[in-house]
DNA sequence: ATTAATGCAAAAGTTTTGCATCGTT
DNA sequence: AACGATGCAAAACTTTTGCATTAAT
């Protein structure tokens, strides 16, 4: 939030109440929110905000490194607050119902370091996405 | 290809020359092809094929488990032939020199299945990318 | 002969953009 | 006052669908 203010100031941009509100809603939210979902929540507080502004603000947040857009299986782009290292997690996505689960596995993290070392690299970051299908009973949208 | 014929027969569908051509082009291609790109290649052989048919065929291939749709960073969905396990690999990328190394680690594969099961999903594919930097001596383009 | 598949065009859905106006600096 | 941001509507794109026609079974 402060980081956004800073970035905006540093780049000759303007800190509007829409940006403030959208950022606030975004950071308060549990992550994985689409522009449409963000708009809905934003409009609870200011019904005049437009979808275009949400998109423009999310692009801004992405540019300052505060948000990361993801396109998993779904139609829409969802945005996630940037990870601060501690809170890192990976994703597992159901291709039928589109739900996204998060997971963290310490063993994977260790193996990654080992693999990197084996290839003579020092790891800076990584990305791991598992795609699958909910077993029948659990899936919210089994297609057949 | 034979698998497609089988699936089609088993489900009372029809094995059309469009489906045959699209599947052929898809499997020949190096993966990561969008519907638009597939259409372009398909039309080199049959200029009458429509984009709708490409989409419909890719959905069919997805349903029989021969293709997997992915939405990475891009606008469009890209399709990848299903991995057969043996030939699967992940990537580790040096952010300095840009070299991409491939690796495969059986432990990671096992953990992935375990994680998927824990969340009630059956894994169809995954993507894992490690980003790092070559240690000085190895790097072809160390920047600092 | 049946009935699924195709091509086309229209529709649906998501994201971007042009422009007049508004609000921050 | 200057100029970036906003809201709106339209445009741009990707993907899906309705329908008359074609083709595989």
pLDDT (mean) for B23-50? 93
More confident residue, A136 or B120: B120
According to DSSP, residue B13 is labeled -
Closest to B92 (Cα-Cα) out of A88, A125, A87, A131: A125
A74 pLDDT band, cuts 50/70/90, is confident
Burial track A44-54 (b if 16+ CB lie within 10 A, e otherwise): eeeeebeeebb
Q: Is the CB of A53 under 7 A from strand D?
A: yes
Domain extent listing, chain B: 2-81, 90-132
Q: CA dist A112 to A15, A118, B11, B114, Å?
A: 40, 10, 43, 17
Specify the CATH number for B2-81; select among 3.40.1360.10, 3.30.9.10, 1.10.260.40, 1.10.10.10.
1.10.10.10
Long-range contacts of A68-74 (CB under 8 A, 24+ apart): A69/B73, A70/A32, A71/B71, A71/B72, A71/B73, A71/B74, A72/A98, A72/A100, A72/A129, A72/B71, A73/A98, A73/A131, A73/B69, A73/B71, A74/A98, A74/B71
Asked whether residue A9 carries a pLDDT value surpassing 50, the answer given is yes
Best to test chain B binding among A116, A125, A135 (most B CBs inside 10 Å): A116
Q: Is A79 exposed, middle or buried (CB count within 10 Å of its CB: 0-12, 13-18, 19+)?
A: buried
Residue A111 contacts B where some CB pair is shorter than 8 Å: yes
Q: How confident is the model at residue A136 (pLDDT cuts 50, 70, 90)?
A: low
Residue A86 has pLDDT above 70, yes or no: no
pLDDT of amino acid B88: 77
The predicted structure's pLDDT at residue B31: 72
Which of A24-38, A40-54, A65-79 reaches the highest mean pLDDT? Answer: A40-54
How far apart are the CA of A53 and the nearest CA of chain B, in angstroms?
Answer: 20
**pLDDT at position A32 over 80:** yes
Does residue B71 sit at the A interface (CB-CB below 8 Å)? yes
* pLDDT reported for residue B13: 96
pLDDT tens-digit readout, A110-131: 899 899 988 888 887 788 888 8
CA terminus-to-terminus distance, chain B: 50
pLDDT at A70: 83
User: Residue B115: its chain A contacts at CB < 8 A?
Assistant: 92, 103, 105, 130
Average pLDDT value for chain A:
86
Of A114 and A72, the one with more pLDDT: A114
pLDDT at residue A24 is higher than 70: yes
* Residues A126 and A112: beta-carbon distance below 8 Å: yes
H-run or E-run covering A68: strand A67-70
The pTM for the full model equals 0.74
Q: How confident is the model at residue B48 (pLDDT cuts 50, 70, 90)?
A: very high
Architecture of domain B90-132: 2-Layer Sandwich (3.30)
pLDDT of residue B144: 34
């Amino acid at each position: 939030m402060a980081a956004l203010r800073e970035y905006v100031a540093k780049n000759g941009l303007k800190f509007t109440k829409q940006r403030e509100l959208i950022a606030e809603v975004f950071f308060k939210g549990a992550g994985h929110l689409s522009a449409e979902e963000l708009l809905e929540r934003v409009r609870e507080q200011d019904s005049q905000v437009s979808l275009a502004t949400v998109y423009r603000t999310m692009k801004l947040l992405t540019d300052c490194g505060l948000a990361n857009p993801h396109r998993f299986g779904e139609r829409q782009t969802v945005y996630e607050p940037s990870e601060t290292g501690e809170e890192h997690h990976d994703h597992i996505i159901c291709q039928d119902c589109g739900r996204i689960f998060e997971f963290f596995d310490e063993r994977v993290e260790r193996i990654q370091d080992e693999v990197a070392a084996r290839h003579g690299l020092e790891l800076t970051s990584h990305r791991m996405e598992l795609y699958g299908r909910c077993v029948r009973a659990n899936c919210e949208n089994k297609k057949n």
